[in-house]
Amino acid sequence: MLEVEKIRRDFPILSREVWGHSLVYLDNAATTQVPESVLQTALDHYRCNNANVHRGIHRLSELSTQSYEQARQRMAGFIGAPDDRCIVFTRGTTDGINMAACGLEHLLKPGDRIIVSMLEHHSNMVPWQQCARRTGADFIAVGLTEEGDIDLRALEEALVPRTKVVAISCCSNVLGTVTPIERIVAMAHEASAVCLLDGAQIMRHRLIDVQAIGCDFFAFSGHKMMGPTGIGVLYAAPPVQNLLDPCVFGGEMVDRVSLRETTFEAAPLRYEAGTPNYVGAIMLGAAADYLESVGRADIAAYEDELIAYAETRLKGICGLHILGNPQHRSGCLSFTVDHVHPFDLCALADKLGIALRSGTNCAQPLLEDVYGIPYVSRLSVAFYNTFDEIDRAADVLEQVIPLVCQGF
């Protein structure tokens, strides 16, 4: 069982005030807060061991390189990868998916098929859409059930023999839908397609073992899991480690350079051009350590309890409608309120200390084509949130909704 009040002391930002009110931070699907231990890791490195990695024989470069590669080993263990050569450090999930979409272009030709779902964040839709445009492949978005789960029957029908790529989110950043990724990966492989999973929203909500899941690629970001922004991971399974063509070129990723031609390093370095965000990677390793120390299974269970409680509380608010009713909702939920614009609602909630998100949540096809709405409000939890904070957020919404309806 989590000691939530003790955990909250690891995050000093949670004790600050906003507009004269105690902060209730419920925008964790966008970015989580960073614990002191992770912040201290960065400070310690810059103070004591800072030097560019892989490029020097002096002591500081050796220490910096050692810490960077230890972070790579740490992330391999964190997601159950067979070895650290599977771990490519990226700028985040978006960067990793773009790396995969660009790197797989050489395998695609007109008439081939790329499949995503209507749940996808723009970051797991637009890169594949553009890849299809450049190669002539067909871009297919599989629909959802009425409840907001991926329609697996429609997916099965879409998996024609010329399907080359299936790219699916593990957890929706709008509905909170947790997808049956093991089954989807198996379906993709039965069609001889490679499968990429967008893991951005799932990292705190379940234990990830990429070998057990069986995916070819898995992308996630540090800032969704108590790490810094600007760092993430693209996991590439051993059979596909060198399948991607490099798309960014420069130092570090090369083997031999001449005026006539260039050869490249093996994975993962062939995908890490230039000076990497090595301090970000070291902080990401520290974030993984922190999550392990708290207890990943306990985190996942507690966050599911929080979002279920939030769903119950918000359903009791007159005129408020929660999107979707998936078999398993985790991490977040989105909602609309009759005659109330999400921007107005969240702006007023902010003035009372409640941090929610409003807008498209980078999922315009989901909102517009499936639900026929342009914007939503979203509440998303982390394990440092409390049931009292959910109550306070619900109370504030009940307070401000009439004000918005009356035009303030």
Active centre residues (catalytic): 362
Measured distance CA(352)–CA(298) in Å, rounded: 30
Q: Please give the structure tokens belonging to residue 191.
A: 């069609």
Minimal CA–CA distance to 130: which of 152, 93, 105?
Answer: 105
DSSP 169: E
> What is the DSSP pairing of strand 217-221 with strand 17-18?
unpaired
Q: Please give the structure tokens belonging to residue 69.
A: 């590669």
Phi, psi angles (nearest 5°) of residue 274: 80, -175
Measured distance CA(178)–CA(327) in Å, rounded: 8
Residue count of the chain: 408
Compute the C-alpha angle 206/23/308, nearest 5°: 35
Measured distance CA(299)–CA(1) in Å, rounded: 9
Beta bridge partners of 165: 114, 194
Compute the C-alpha angle 368/309/122, nearest 5°: 25
- Asked if the bond preceding 238 is cis, omega within 30° of 0, the reply is no
Q: Please give the structure tokens belonging to residue 184.
A: 């989807």
